[in-house]
Amino acid sequence: MNGGINSAAGSAARTAIVVGGSSGIGCETVLRLTESGWNVFNISRTPCINIKVNNISADVTDEQAFTHIKNTAESCGLGLLVYSAGCSMAAPIEYAAESDYRYLFEVNFFGALKAVQAAVPYMKKNGGRIILVGSLGGDIPIVFDSFYSASKAALEMLARGLEQELSSCGIKVTACLPGGTATGFTFKRKIYPAGECGGYGKKLEKAVESLAKIEQGGMSAAAVADDIFKVINSDNPPLIKTCGVKNTAYRFLSRVLPEKLTLHITGKRYGL
């Protein structure tokens, strides 16, 4: 085995497309791939600074991004797809604007779905890997970031469905679930101002502050990328991979404790 991928397929098996590799976890994953000799294409709005990567400028809300996946796979083959694009917004469910939550799902879920649909026909020829970067928040809801949590829960279920449908084709799927991660993602979050939150303003402010502390005090993007790279190199990768020992323990407890108790504990973490 060569990097967890069947080497008999040649260079196609060592060609990777990373969607959202310009920063954070995606960028660190690109670094590990290029350092290991992969031919890496990054699709994102802004370029990845890694000089060894082939940058393709595209927005995952634009159909052109998925045309790029098809064109790259046709010309270079494809052994690995990593979907790491994502966005977040802190908003009360009651007052969230439809345009905002639809955009979030376009980036976090439908972009991943379309990327998979573009890549799978080419992976069926020689097998391959699909890595979907989800979130622990898809299992344990983030207070006032419910749309993000819902989109990541959908991504995790997508991984399960893909595993059922594609395992006989030699395509292995993993949803990697980081918890709070210290990246610039914290500072890009759309936050609803108090005037647009009804009576939720103070609670939302506390939750956003707590979330920022959790993220910036969490794992590094490099540590998460190390876990992702281990999955890529595994001959028998897990379907769901929680990143980090603490996050793994937290997810386990959330599944054995009563649901309301888990939500109560989570609420306390976010200042409620």
The answer to whether 79 and 15 are in contact (CB under 8 A) is yes
> How far apart, in whole angstroms, are the C-alpha atoms of residue 62 and residue 71?
15
Q: What is the pTM of this model?
A: 0.93
The dotted CATH code for 7-269 is 3.40.50.720
d(CA 263, CA 212): 19
Query: What are the residues whose beta carbons fall under 8 Å from the beta carbon of 113, sequence distance 6 or more?
Result: 158
H or E element at residue 42: strand 39-44
pLDDT in tens, the chain (272 residues): 333 444 334 566 799 999 999 999 999 999 999 999 999 999 999 999 999 999 999 999 999 999 999 999 999 999 999 999 999 999 999 999 999 999 999 999 999 999 999 999 999 988 999 999 999 999 999 999 999 999 999 999 999 999 999 999 999 999 999 999 999 999 999 999 999 999 999 999 999 999 999 999 999 999 999 999 999 999 999 999 999 999 999 999 999 999 999 999 999 999 88
Rounded Cα gap, residues 173 and 51, in angstroms: 28
